[in-house]
Structure 1
Amino acid sequence: MEFLSYLISGISLGSVYAIIALGYTMVYGIAKMLNFAHGDIIMVGGYISFCAMNYLGLPSIVSIILAMLVCTVLGVVIEGLAYKPLRSAPSLAVLITAIGVSYFLQNAALLIWSAAPKVYTPIISGSLSLFGGALKIPYVSILTVVACLVIMVALTAFTSMSKMGKAMRACSEDKGAAQLMGINVNATISMTFAIGSALAGIAGVLLCSSYPTLMPTTGSMPGIKAFTAAVFGGIGSIPGAFLGGLLLGIIEAMAKAYISTNLANSIVFAVLIVVLLVKPAGLLGRYVPEKV
């Protein structure tokens, strides 16, 4: 039963990583940039939900919607102010800007909410007992896994069937050709940031519900691990981000349980290195030769 308990914990954690990784992979797939401020948007989502429930007394579902809305607006504003002027700039300039935005958000949170950790009230409590109580699955873990599956299916359907989704795929292939075909590239990229940031808001609520300590640096390590998961599964691939997140969560949970809590992060990144040495494009990624 201990193994099943650790496995369920890993799947739940991996589902959070997968939701965050889906935001990363959406932005990279369309805009071809790494938004390292994504993890800090997760933190903002957690704080907005915390304030809505504890200071305003709003129900959990309303706090989730509010966190999504604030994170969506924040993502669009960041894209418009920090990234849009750098459309034709070298990738290094965009990367440095993303790191700057990340530190800005962390320090803004420090000024607004202070460095003192906040105790987050989970959006759902209790657990499901199985095998006569020998195995208990927290309801928040079930909710996290279900939310991850729904989000992945919805994103896949959105990018495959909707007009905006097809525009995103066109921009991903060739922004210049997409613009010549009448697609508004700037609006498409802004929509991508809006979707990715909304997912970050959901991830922030689910992460804090599973690990109820909220600080200005809460999103930093999960953001890095989710980026690792996106690369692990094949960055730019929605199923790849989902698979990478789940596998990363399971590996981390098993490493903490059976090897060492202190070495768990090292083991996670070591597995990533081995996978990339064998398959540089990731598990579900595809190698695209550069045309000259």
Structure 2
Amino acid sequence: MEEFLQQLINGLTIGNFYALLALGYTMVFGIIRLINFAHGDVYMVGSFLGLSILGLFGSLTSSGVGSFILAMIVSMFVTGLVGVLINRIAYVPLLNAPRLSIMISALAVSLLLQNLVMVFYGPSFKVYPHLSAGGAIFNSSVKISYTQVGMLLISIIFMIILQLFIKKTFLGRAMRAVSLDQDASQLMGINVRFIVAITFFIGSALASAAGVMMGGYYGQISFMMGFLMGIKAFTAAVLGGIGNIPGAVLGGFLLGILETLGAGYFSPAWKDVFAFVILILVLVFKPTGLLGEPQAEKL
């Protein structure tokens, strides 16, 4: 039982990273029906920006936690702007083109981001300032660190703020309207391109938050880290029901728990395999996901 509880705690920690990334996938898909395959690399860029900001401004605060939070906030803003720029350059000109064209553009952006970071930071792993792992002990076998609790709380706060933004604000209502019918929304006076840009900003900022937290949790980052993480976050979005915000959160936590339990009870070498097996099973047996609904293809 103790081993199960420990794996559950670890799974929730990993799952909150997947959930933050999956939110970006599901928001963009809900607005413009695009699978943004560059989203994982936006997460990677955010992690490297956070590392640079920690190096530049870490001395401004007296505690490591304060430096970490400052780096996360600045990185989220800058990465959000990067997401808007990617949308404007790579996606907006192709919105009326065939879906294959915009998908190829997304893959090209992914490769571009990887190579830019590799050239600027180098190909080797970079050491991230590691947050303290001290924390509460439930008993002699089950432990949860303050780092895990703090990251989980930060992620939940972001998710609650996003849900309130979508449900309660004018921009949130506009986003929901655009997701239903772009033409009708434009006729009602909604600036569709601005709403799409806001969607990319929010999704990219959340990805950056996940990148900074992941760096602080594991203690190292690489320019290749975005690809696999992006695929897993996409799996989480599909699992929960892509286009559904609560579904993305649910899918992220479920994927983290299932992956961690599989690695703990079988073999860590099979950890990534579990994620892709889950993706295949969901696509075969319930392609709409746990909370998703069937949607007609817009021609």
TM-score, normalised relative to structure 1: 0.95
Closer, same or farther: CA 77–291 of 1 in aligned 2, 3 Å = closer
Q: Is the 8 A contact 1:140 1:206 kept in 2?
A: no
CA–CA distance in structure 2, aligned partners of residues 75 and 143 of structure 1:
26
CA–CA distance in structure 2, aligned partners of residues 131 and 206 of structure 1:
24
The Cα shift of 1:133 comes to: 4.7
- For residue 64 of structure 2, what is the aligned residue in structure 1? none
Secondary structure at the residue paired with 1:204?
A: helix
- For residue 2 of structure 1, what is the aligned residue in structure 2? 3
1:104 aligns with 2:105: no
Closer, same or farther: CA 48–85 of 1 in aligned 2, 3 Å = same
Closer, same or farther: CA 109–283 of 1 in aligned 2, 3 Å = same
- For residue 15 of structure 2, what is the aligned residue in structure 1? 14
| Counterpart AA for 2:263 | K
Secondary structure at the residue paired with 2:96?
A: coil
- For residue 148 of structure 1, what is the aligned residue in structure 2? 155
Deviation sequence 1:229-272 (CA, Å, 0-9, x none): 00110001011000100010011111111112222222222122
Q: Give structure 2 stretches of 5+ with no counterpart.
A: 60-66
The Cα shift of 1:160 comes to: 1.1
TM-score, normalised relative to structure 2: 0.93
| Counterpart AA for 1:274 | L
For residue 269 of structure 2, the aligned residue among 262, 265, 284 is 262
Secondary structure at the residue paired with 1:251?
A: helix
Q: Is the 8 A contact 1:13 1:249 kept in 2?
A: yes
Matched-pair identity in %:
44
| Counterpart AA for 2:238 | V
Q: Is the 8 A contact 1:26 1:238 kept in 2?
A: yes
Secondary structure at the residue paired with 2:26?
A: helix
Instruction: Give the paired residue count.
Output: 291
| Counterpart AA for 1:99 | L
CA–CA distance in structure 2, aligned partners of residues 88 and 33 of structure 1:
12
Deviation sequence 1:89-124 (CA, Å, 0-9, x none): 1111010000000000000001100011111113x4
Secondary structure at the residue paired with 1:129?
A: strand
Deviation sequence 1:18-65 (CA, Å, 0-9, x none): 000011111111121111111111111111111122344342222111
Q: Compute the RMSD of aligned alpha carbons.
A: 1.6
CA–CA distance in structure 2, aligned partners of residues 55 and 291 of structure 1:
47
